[in-house]
Structure 1
Amino acid sequence: MANSSRLRAAALTTAAVLFSAVLAGCGGSTEHGDLTAQKLDWKSCPAPSEAEGGGSAPSPLPGGTEWECATMQAPLDWSRPKGDTIGIALIRAKASGPADKRIGSLVFNFGGPGGSGVTTLPAFAEDYGALRTRYDLVSFDPRGVGRSRPVECESDAQLDNYFQQDATPDDSAERDQFLTRTKQFNAACEKNSKEVLPHVRTTDAARDMDLMRQVLGDDKLYYFGISYGTELGGVYAHLFPKNVGRAVFDAVVDPTQTSEQSALGQAKGFQLALDNFAEDCTSKETDCPIGDTPQQVKDRIAKLLADLEKKPIPGIFPRQLTQTAATNGIAQSLYSKDFWEYLTEGLEQAYDGDGKILMLLSDSMNGRSENGEYSNITAANTAINCADDKPRYTTDFVRQRLPEFHAASPFFGDYMAWGMVGCTDWAVPGAADHPDVSAPGSAPILVVGNTGDPATPYEGARKMVEALGKGVGVELTYKGQGHGAYDSKNKCVQSAVNGYLLDGKVPKADTVCS
């Protein structure tokens, strides 16, 4: 967890590929000329690229519907719409219901920034079966991600080293080493991706989505944004309020926060999730194998992390499980309650000197496949965040803020704080302190917040509703655990979301599901 923005990484993307890759690719070409008039050349999807995470081409959906892929051309620089273009990789599954009931295309962004929608949509598509009755399900690799002109930084071997470093330096020598390593990574991004780095801001991706809407043949954008996808959706609504059709934001980013405030909020969110995990493990009828009380569970984890800082244990050969990798793996497991059993097993193993499961969880967070190849999620995540976020934090600033971060979370606070230097010496200036999502005149947007969400704390949903403006955001609360609500399969949440997207029924404001 070498930088805090990594914990903004697409939780659903990494969750989908925890122990196996259910991935897809994209291809195709476009006609030249007026980009709004281009015709997409939909073809069978190939196996995903290394930047998308590798693996096999997506399997057909139940019932036999095949996945189709294409590439849409968009301006590389939106201030020069007639200049060079960039290919945006798309994937779709056609609607399953009658043609006369079809509404249009439902575009998904699953988060990150840096997550490949082309690989993630097939992994979750069965969860959206009800929505496919009236929509073509569509997703994409945003610019800089996967097959869409991917940002490239370091090699796989260099990334192995990068993720093994001590991400919570304790003295001046360690701080210098950490900062030097961060600058080396950022310099590699500039060297290998200089042309694309100025053009991967969220505003660029939002403009791509409006072009996508037109190319797909829709008068309005129908949209399902998850995690960072809610920020992208909010920026789209700000830029194109009259073009918003029915939209849902799930696992909501607080659009009013600076990157520092977001990091502190995530520290609190992951601490809450760890507290809930410890409570859950020790409250069951069967004995909790990692502690008798919630405090004992957390005390043993704290001791493990302290021991690993002094002496790592064997992980996945030849790599060792370091304190950083273990903390990263614990954080990954908190994205979904479904992963709590893996965290329990991983901790049991680690207490016996075996770090394989925690390292596997850490690898999932970082986009590392079993064959040692990395997707470009870390490179893209860094590039998009640094292009979006104006603040540039120094090591002295972080040191001053450490006490507050540590108080927020003894387990994750220090990592989040030191992650704030991730944009040091970045080649492109950041755009703003926080995104503008005010969207007067937009159609209603359903905003779903989860009270136990570690990565996008619940409070962000209300802040998003307020920032969208009066009469736009409609808040729905889910009292649950994990990152997001719809994929929890809670019937109340799914009924409200489906009712809006399929039939235009706006739920009553402040609806609560549990």
Structure 2
Amino acid sequence: MTHRKTVVRGAAVAAATSLLLAGAGTAGATAPAATDRPVWSPCPPPTAAQGGGDAPGVGWECATLAVPLDYAHPQGRRIGLALIRHAATGPGKRIGSLIYNFGGPGGSGVATLPGFGSTFSTLNTRYDLVSFDPRGVGGSAPVSCFTGPQTDAYNQVDSTPDTPAEAEQFMDVTQAFAAACEKKSGALLPHLTTTNVARDLDRIRAAVGDAKLNYYGFSYGTELGGTYAHLFPQKVGRAVLDGVMNPDENYTDGALYQLKGFQLALDNFAKACVAGSYVCPIHRSTPAQVEQLLTDVVAHLDQHPARTADGRMLNDSLALSAMAHTLYSASSGWPALARAVSSYANWEDPTALMALADSATGRDDKGHYDNGNNIFSATSCADYGVPQTTDDIRQQLPAYRKASPLFGEQFAWALNQCTYWPVKGATDHMEVSAKGAPPILVIGNAGDPATPYGGAEVMARRLGKGVGVLVSWKGGQGHCSYGKGSACIDGKADDYLLNGKVPAYGTNCP
């Protein structure tokens, strides 16, 4: 996650967009009109709200499915959901569609799925690969708030305020952001709950012609999958939840719980740097010294923001977002963080850190932002949001600082995102009990920063006996597990999805 002043985009597969692979492109393609049944046609390039880029190329088709804005009034206003698919390639008998959600809330499945085409090629032999932009995201009635220049200015406000004046400014800009969202997208905001996205998911299942939902949810997609299983247990087919959100955590406790995951990942990054597990130009004698260097960089930027070649300013808030963003991927993110910090360690070149910050916040090189920040606030606040005053946050700061000296303050102050939001939280925590559903694979990664491993254990229990099947990657690093280098994890998931073979509860992958 990291788009607002939250360090992470609540459990998005935040690094996903940086992994997109450009396709051959499809000249002249336009977004399909919304219909009750998908009418598939060549995909246009992703919009700015989806993150931009090239059209996905040969084999990918797009459609727009009409669904009710308000399920309490299903004959009322309708909105269009952007869909994408790649038909099953064979050999082998087609099973149906495998529908993906890549996290967030705020990730564009339409923009993300093509970048993982090779990762899911085995599954694509017998499934149509399908994804979508959830309501409010990208090409699906996107929530609009600040303009690009306004977001640039927003990101210059200190998200770890040191003085009463800075705290007031931070609260004021958060209030202005909420007001802009309400002004531009107020009619959408009450209907952007995960429960409604789950109802949309059931419409997509029916629209692609499947009697049961075959599903792969990463990160926030595990919350969506658990919600779907609770609402429609008899309609669940084969489902995998990977990088699992803890269903028992509420708004404030959940942020602290997640913060501890990021500190664990930071510790692992520093230990690997010292051990020489990757090329680490900020190598020091101890992990504590590596972490202290990052802390020193952030402290320096707090007092002396650095100007980039294009005139923009890298401050401590953006640097923290960049650092957290890289912890999602041990293979690519850790080396990128070490290089970026090294290039700035003598208070010289902020270019690399700013590029990582742009990736974290969804900004392209033209100053356009995707709308992930907007929908992250919209869904988080509508689901569980609890208003937090300045005094509330200050009372919680010691616990957050203790949990992570580097990230703690930014995580704590980010609790203000729902303080001025026009829609109040519908519940305290997610409900995922799914009595009557078939076995659902729940994959936990011991080194996951954004969705700490304990969430998988809780989710497997809460789904119910005989439903939640826990599989653990004890040696994992980075966010989520599939396609991250574990032949054991990939094999268990593939065998389950392709052949219906359910692994033993508590299976451990090295």
TM exceeds 0.5?
A: yes
Q: How does 1:308-457 map to 2 (within 5 A)?
A: 308-315=301-308, 317-338=310-331, 339-352=333-346, 353-457=348-452
* Structure-1-length-normalised TM-score: 0.94
CA distance in 2, matches of 1:203, 1:388: 8
Instruction: Call closer, same or farther: CA 1:509–1:117 in 2, change over 3 Å.
Output: same
User: Which of 106, 110, 114 is the equivalent residue of 2:102?
Assistant: 110
Q: Does 1:161 align with 2:153?
A: yes
Q: In structure 2, what residue type is equivalent to 1:344?
A: A
User: Which of 237, 242, 245 is the equivalent residue of 1:250?
Assistant: 242
- Deviation string 1:378-407 (CA, Å, 9 cap, x unpaired) is 111111111111422111111001000000
Cα contact 1:6–1:381 (8 A) shared by 2: no
CA distance in 2, matches of 1:26, 1:246: 33
Match of 2:479 in 1: 483
Q: In structure 1, what residue type is equivalent to 2:18?
A: V
Q: How does 1:31-430 map to 2 (within 5 A)?
A: 31=35, 38-60=36-58, 66-98=59-91, 101-284=93-276, 288-290=280-282, 291-315=284-308, 317-338=310-331, 339-352=333-346, 353-430=348-425
Match of 1:35 in 2: none
Shift of 1:319: 1.1
CA distance in 1, matches of 2:200, 2:149: 33
Say how many residue pairs are matched: 502
CA distance in 1, matches of 2:300, 2:105: 33
Q: Does 1:16 align with 2:7?
A: no
CA distance in 2, matches of 1:168, 1:59: 43
Shift of 1:21: 6.5
Shift of 1:136: 0.2
CA distance in 1, matches of 2:127, 2:491: 16
CA distance in 2, matches of 1:270, 1:384: 22
Shift of 1:301: 1.3
Instruction: Call closer, same or farther: CA 1:110–1:286 in 2, change over 3 Å.
Output: closer
CA distance in 2, matches of 1:137, 1:444: 21
**Could you say what secondary structure the match of 2:13 adopts?**
helix
User: Which of 464, 471, 492 is the equivalent residue of 1:469?
Assistant: 464
* Structure-2-length-normalised TM-score: 0.95
CA distance in 1, matches of 2:24, 2:71: 30
Shift of 1:361: 1.0
Match of 2:8 in 1: 7
Q: In structure 1, what residue type is equivalent to 2:343?
A: Q
CA distance in 1, matches of 2:83, 2:120: 18
Q: In structure 1, what residue type is equivalent to 2:8?
A: L
Moved more, 236-245 or 312-321: 312-321
Cα contact 1:109–1:117 (8 A) shared by 2: yes
User: Which of 11, 32, 36 is the equivalent residue of 1:28?
Assistant: 32
Shift of 1:512: 0.8
Q: In structure 1, what residue type is equivalent to 2:363?
A: R
Instruction: Call closer, same or farther: CA 1:201–1:342 in 2, change over 3 Å.
Output: same
Cα contact 2:243–2:479 (8 A) shared by 1: yes
Shift of 1:371: 1.6
Cα contact 1:4–1:420 (8 A) shared by 2: no
CA distance in 2, matches of 1:126, 1:453: 23
Q: Give structure 2 stretches of 5+ with no counterpart.
A: none
Instruction: Call closer, same or farther: CA 1:341–1:91 in 2, change over 3 Å.
Output: same
Cα contact 1:26–1:70 (8 A) shared by 2: no
**Could you say what secondary structure the match of 2:123 adopts?**
helix
Shift of 1:12: 2.9
Shift of 1:218: 0.4
Instruction: Call closer, same or farther: CA 1:272–1:13 in 2, change over 3 Å.
Output: closer
CA distance in 2, matches of 1:26, 1:68: 11
CA distance in 2, matches of 1:452, 1:201: 29
Shift of 1:284: 1.8
Moved more, 498-507 or 166-175: 166-175
Q: In structure 1, what residue type is equivalent to 2:47?
A: S
Cα contact 2:21–2:115 (8 A) shared by 1: no
Cα contact 2:16–2:112 (8 A) shared by 1: no
CA distance in 2, matches of 1:286, 1:21: 27
CA distance in 2, matches of 1:118, 1:285: 35
- Deviation string 1:356-380 (CA, Å, 9 cap, x unpaired) is 1111111111110122110111111
Match of 1:34 in 2: none
CA distance in 1, matches of 2:444, 2:321: 24
Identity %: 49
Shift of 1:22: 7.0
Shift of 1:276: 0.6
Match of 2:490 in 1: 494
Match of 1:63 in 2: none
Cα contact 1:393–1:424 (8 A) shared by 2: yes
Q: In structure 2, what residue type is equivalent to 1:336?
A: S
CA distance in 2, matches of 1:17, 1:171: 36
- Deviation string 1:10-47 (CA, Å, 9 cap, x unpaired) is 6435343269867999732354xxxxxx3311000001
Moved more, 382-391 or 199-208: 382-391
Say what the alpha-carbon RMSD is for the aligned residues. Answer: 1.8
CA distance in 2, matches of 1:110, 1:23: 23
Cα contact 1:16–1:22 (8 A) shared by 2: no
**Could you say what secondary structure the match of 1:477 adopts?**
strand
CA distance in 1, matches of 2:30, 2:449: 32
Q: In structure 1, what residue type is equivalent to 2:344?
A: A
CA distance in 2, matches of 1:15, 1:168: 27
Instruction: Call closer, same or farther: CA 1:6–1:206 in 2, change over 3 Å.
Output: farther
